[in-house]
Amino acid sequence: MKISNSKKELASIISENGGWREGADTCSCDHDGYVSFFVGNPTRNGGSWLDNGDCEYIGGTIATKYEKIKNWHQTILSRAEYFHLYPTPDADGWIEHIKSAQQVDGFSVVDVRFRDGGTAFGPAHVFDWSVDGGEDDIISCRLHKPEQSKPEFCESVMRSIPEPIAKPTIEQLAADHRNAKDYADRKQQEADVAKAEADAKLKALELAGAALWLSVSPITKKQEPELVITVKVGDEVECVKPNVNPSKFIGMMGTVLEADDSSTPYLVDFGGEVKIWCYEVKLIRRP
């Protein structure tokens, strides 16, 4: 169910102020930030939402501490949309499952109900929480209640779910931590070795490029290396884009007197007293 950001904001306000009002079909927020509940769909009049012949105001107004929500004049939140965002357990703790996402921590033991009527329990991570309309979809879940009788299992779940075990001891928890840390250390070492190899190959690329008057562009160095020509003072160059009189200086050759990082980085001497700055030059030869 696709829900706009303004409806999500309105649902959050309702959740923080007592939840959905009993008997309401819809809810809206007026220009002054007041949230009201209705049976049916209200009609907007100026800065407020009003009841009409097909709609009835049922009270339960929330005088929020917030300013009006964005797009308040186009936002009517339905009961189904609110409970999609804020599912409420029934008297036995069951929560409707309608989204293709695991709803609890993977190691929490849960009871689940399938669309075909079957039930099962076990660690949350062993179940398939996707929803595609099939008979094996999970339609509701709750935290497992050991005091209740065990629900019946489907055969595939029985093969994969171990019996609940006792709470781990402090020694077991310490061992788990050591194993996890050893694994993390190995992965970090592999990452360090891989980075060192990558740095060595980049250095080899820079050295090879230097022999051809090329260098690795600092702009793309963090993504993918790119070789570019580096023009230096003393190089003989051809003017590609001068900062003055293009028709006269484009194609002329001269010697680089200065090279810096300004917007016109190359001062080129064309002989005599002719010296101009160029936006771009082409390397001809290096002394």
> Can you tell me the distance from the alpha carbon of 184 to that of 169, in angstroms, rounded to the nearest whole number?
23
Q: pLDDT tens digits, residue range 207-254?
A: 887 766 666 555 444 555 555 667 889 999 999 999 888 888 899 999
Question: Are 162 and 143 a contacting pair, CB within 8 Å?
Answer: no
Task: Name the residue among 77, 164, 92, 82 with its Cα closest to residue 126.
Answer: 164
User: 231-285 has which CATH code?
Assistant: 2.30.30.50
Q: What is the token pair recorded at 147?
A: 């005091």
| CATH 2.30.30.50 boundaries in the chain | 231-285
Beta pairing partners, 36: 28
Residue with tokens 């049922």: 58
Q: pLDDT tens digits, residue range 9-34?
A: 888 888 888 788 888 888 888 887 78
> Can you tell me the distance from the alpha carbon of 209 to that of 252, in angstroms, rounded to the nearest whole number?
27
Q: pTM higher than 0.85, yes or no?
A: no
Helices within 211-282 (DSSP H only)? 246-249
